[in-house]
């Protein structure tokens, strides 16, 4: 019964994670998506190429965390920790990649918007989980 009460807001975490994964396959600042840029940069240089997989990695980690809290509500703190790890990868990606592409920010593609929206939805899900945990402890 308690899960049904919070299910609508927990779905936002799943949607945000899926948006992070999907953003990997849409263009961000060029006509290429991040996976294609990753393949191109691994053939030329290896320095920053792994950074391009961070939205995919972040989305997978946050998807596991969101499904963990839906599966069992008692694991909500562990899912918050996993979500923070996933969002940490995404934050590193945003800081490094967007700072490199800042002059092309006006030509941004749908991948940037999907990534930012997914990031914000997962962040909202974390806040909601922590708020509901606080409300549970005060109620008991």
The 10s digit of each residue's pLDDT in 40-50 is 877 776 667 78
- Tokens describing residue 21: 């994964």
Separation CA 6–CA 21 (nearest Å): 24
Per the model's pLDDT, the better-predicted residue between 42 and 87 turns out to be 87
Least Cα distance to 104 among 23, 24, 26, 27 occurs for: 27
The domain spans of the chain are 2-139
Q: Which two tokens stand for residue 127?
A: 């806040």
Task: Look over the chain and give the mean of its residue pLDDT values, rounded to a whole number.
Answer: 82
Which pTM does this prediction carry?
0.83
- Greater pLDDT, 117 or 41: 117
Alpha-carbon distances, residue 27 vs 31, 96, 107, 112, 114 (angstroms): 6, 17, 10, 8, 10
């Amino acid at each position: 019964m308690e899960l049904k009460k919070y299910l609508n807001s927990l779905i936002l975490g799943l949607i945000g994670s899926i948006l992070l994964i999907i953003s990997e396959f849409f263009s961000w600042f060029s006509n290429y998506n991040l996976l294609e840029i990753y393949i191109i940069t691994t053939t030329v240089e290896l320095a920053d190429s792994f950074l391009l997989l961070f939205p995919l990695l972040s989305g997978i980690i946050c998807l596991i965390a969101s499904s963990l809290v839906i599966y069992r509500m008692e694991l909500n703190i562990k899912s918050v920790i996993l979500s923070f790890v996933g969002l940490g990868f995404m934050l590193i990606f945003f800081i490094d990649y967007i700072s490199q592409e800042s002059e092309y920010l006006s030509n941004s593609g749908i991948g940037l918007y999907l990534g930012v929206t997914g990031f914000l939805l997962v962040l909202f899900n974390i806040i909601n989980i922590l708020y509901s945990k606080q409300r549970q402890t005060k109620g008991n």
